[in-house]
Structure 1
Amino acid sequence: MPHAKTPTKSATGRRRRFALAGAGVLLASATALVSSGPLPAIPAAAVTAASRDAAVPPGSAAPVVPLNKARVTAAVLDLDGTGLRPTLYGDDTPYDTASIIKVDILAALLLQAQDAGRPLDATQGTLARAMIEHSDNAAANALWRQIGLAPGLEAANKRLGLTSTKGGPGFLWGLTRTTASDQIRLLRAVFGPGPTALDKTSRSAIRTLMTHIADDQSWGVSAAGSGWALKNGWLERTATGLWDINSIGQVTMNGHRYLVAVLSDGNTSMNDGISLVERTARTAVSAASAR
């Protein structure tokens, strides 16, 4: 699936940047979790500008007001609270996933490896890292095939507790349909304290990769707190020129950990969509924190 056009980058204070030394240590930890041995380095040619998702958020704490025909839905779950169900903001209707589906693809791949009683092999580990950290589409294509396309994804999701996610047709993984509440179910299987089909090593692998998103992609739900782990997705629709902009992950605010999923579509530009998603995430998490 071709990537959307990349907007012009602008320097913002909110963009997270890792010191090189620290990043090296953390990446070593991530690779150790994904397979039993160290992962080979990703060749530079394997993560090209054409195969990356990249965006820089504009930002303000303005009220959540979608532009034109854009729509947005958020779901928030306080992992350190007493509630077991997420709080929803907006209608919990299906949206196309774009690249947030890559977390679900990795979860399915890890479940299959667990069933076979083995870790991911070196090639799978390299593809997983490229797919999550750099949102590499070629890596996602390869792993989508390996999990068995939509049927493989849906079989894994049944075990993970998802109820409203339908895999994209054929090789179009980005056209998978999902809801904000289903994305919270996925995140809970990764970050939550309760029992899950994913074992401890698999959960740690996904968590670690989601904390090492490329600097130019550290927008979205990360605007709502600190200590974030996330995955974003974006897609310009060829028929309308409008944008799907989505973001899922975990953030910390006031000492509590929150799972956050914000899905939107109908945005007139990528930057408008990012701004909407970030404002929505901040508003939803702040409201949950005040409860």
Structure 2
Amino acid sequence: MPRHRTRRSALSVSLTAAVLLAGFTAGGAYLVERVTDAAPAAASAPPVSSTPGTSEEPEVDLDTELAAALAPVADGADVSVAVLDPDTGARAVYGDGAYDTASVVKVDILAALLLRIQDEGRRLNGAELAYADAMIRRSDNTSATELLKAVGGAEGLDAANARLGLTETRAVHAWGLTQTTAADRLRLLEAVFGTDSELTAASRAYLTELMGEVEADQQWGISAAGGDWALKNGWMPRTTTGLWDVNSIGRVTSGGHTRLVAVLSRGHASQEAGVDLVEAVAKTAVSVVARGAQGAR
């Protein structure tokens, strides 16, 4: 698994997201706009690097720090998490296995639909708007099935995800069993909440809007790690074992900074146990990346 490092004295990089939200028209259709979005050292002195811009501070391996911080929290649970501070680039990943998406794949499905209508140069129609709203805000499964058909099934979803930079996600017709990794969920979140994306500003704003309005009983998960959240959760019992998959992905604000967070987990005796673990993991991971981001200033 690749290691993600940050330097304690590296320069901070500020990323400003410009969001253009095109409103609902009188006919109820959502417009997705096209946006072209030295001297030699003494013999007894230790060697000093002559590379410009390098730091004498030690590098911090955030993946290792995250693994150490999660050891008492995860306590052997089957869980993976990835976190990114877009402002500084501080990133940490724990676990690299593939997990069932459950309903977090609904973000992929809506992103695929938005890419399609961008390509067609049209607006979301009334039926698509209704399905999208229900699929994200209420996690409606029928709406997800209908929209998966609209984007060309599993093959169409894979093609859309490839355009968004996902490399470790494989869609299936039974969409909840789509396989993904926490690192790939982070790539999806960068496409939704960042500016370097195949999705237009208006498409990203629409996704963000819906993810910020999920129903009250679904506002758990990564929201435990900060405020101003926009999220999508997924949960389902596996019929073969009766054990639960519980996942949460999205964006939170913590300490005045945006964090993108993805937590995937499985093997829980109950949904409640899964939610408790996901929230504890999210909070721990965000705190580790926050320390790394502070050191990167």
TM-score by length of 1: 0.76
RMSD, matched Cα: 2.0
Q: Which residue does the alignment assign to 2:143?
A: 139
Q: Which residue does the alignment assign to 1:97?
A: 101
Q: Which residue does the alignment assign to 2:209?
A: 208
Contact 2:168 2:184 in 1 (8 A): yes
Contact 1:94 1:177 in 2 (8 A): yes
| CA shift for structure 1 position 36 | 7.4
Q: Which residue does the alignment assign to 2:166?
A: 162
Matched, 1:79 2:102: no
Contact 1:78 1:258 in 2 (8 A): yes
Contact 1:167 1:177 in 2 (8 A): yes
Unmatched segments (≥5 aa) in structure 2: 1-20, 31-70, 293-297
TM-score by length of 2: 0.75
Aligned residues: 233
For 2:178, give the aligned amino acid.
T
Q: Which residue does the alignment assign to 2:28?
A: 38
Q: Using a 3 Å threshold, how does the CA distance of structure 1 residues 145 and 66 change in structure 2: closer, same or farther?
A: farther
For 1:87, give the aligned amino acid.
A
For 1:256, give the aligned amino acid.
H
| CA shift for structure 1 position 65 | 2.9
Of the three residues 120, 141, 154, the one matched with 2:124 is: 120
| CA shift for structure 1 position 38 | 2.7
Contact 1:97 1:178 in 2 (8 A): yes
Of the three residues 70, 88, 93, the one matched with 1:88 is: 93
Of the three residues 184, 191, 194, the one matched with 1:192 is: 194
Q: Using a 3 Å threshold, how does the CA distance of structure 1 residues 236 and 251 change in structure 2: closer, same or farther?
A: same
Q: Using a 3 Å threshold, how does the CA distance of structure 1 residues 233 and 174 change in structure 2: closer, same or farther?
A: same
Q: Secondary structure, in 3 states, of the residue corresponding to 2:133?
A: helix
- Equivalents in 2 of 1:155, 1:39: separation in Å? 25
Unmatched segments (≥5 aa) in structure 1: 1-29, 41-61
| CA shift for structure 1 position 82 | 3.5
- Equivalents in 2 of 1:181, 1:191: separation in Å? 15
- Once the two structures are superposed, residues 231-252 of structure 1 have per-residue CA deviations (whole angstroms, 9 ceiling, x without a partner) of 0000101111100000000000
| CA shift for structure 1 position 264 | 0.1
After TM superposition, list the pairs within 5 Å mapping 1:1-291 onto structure 2: 33=23, 37-38=27-28, 63-66=72-75, 70-83=77-90, 86-89=91-94, 91-168=95-172, 170=173, 172-193=174-195, 195-291=196-292
- Equivalents in 2 of 1:35, 1:128: separation in Å? 16
| CA shift for structure 1 position 268 | 1.1
Identity %: 53
Q: Using a 3 Å threshold, how does the CA distance of structure 1 residues 167 and 105 change in structure 2: closer, same or farther?
A: same
Q: Using a 3 Å threshold, how does the CA distance of structure 1 residues 156 and 99 change in structure 2: closer, same or farther?
A: same
| CA shift for structure 1 position 37 | 4.1
